[in-house]
Amino acid sequence: MSLSRMSVVKRHVTTAAPSLHEEAMEPGGKLPANAERVAHLVDDALREANREAQTDVRGPEDWAAM
């Protein structure tokens, strides 16, 4: 993934995070299980995206499994 595409991905993921936070603040403050899972994935993706760029050792077969 090129650096410019990565910045677009980071922008989209960063945009999703506040929406998930707002959803959690609705009355009851409890996300449905699937939304909570997505929130964790967003947090994980942002942490990973903010780490220094490293060589991606995954191959096409790894991406196909996702």
pLDDT at 3 (0 to 100): 64
Report pTM.
0.56
Name the amino acid, one letter, at 56. Answer: D
pLDDT digits (tens, 9 = 90+) for 26-36: 767 677 788 78
What is the C-alpha to C-alpha distance for residues 24 and 36, in angstroms, rounded to an integer?
Answer: 9
pLDDT at 20 (0 to 100): 78
pLDDT < 50 positions in the chain: none
pLDDT at 16 (0 to 100): 83
What is the C-alpha to C-alpha distance for residues 14 and 31, in angstroms, rounded to an integer?
Answer: 19
pLDDT at 22 (0 to 100): 80
What is the C-alpha to C-alpha distance for residues 13 and 44, in angstroms, rounded to an integer?
Answer: 10
Q: Where are the domains of the chain?
A: 3-52
pLDDT at 1 (0 to 100): 57
Q: Which residues of 35-52 are buried (b: 16+ CB within 10 A; e: fewer)?
A: eeeebeebeebeeeeeee
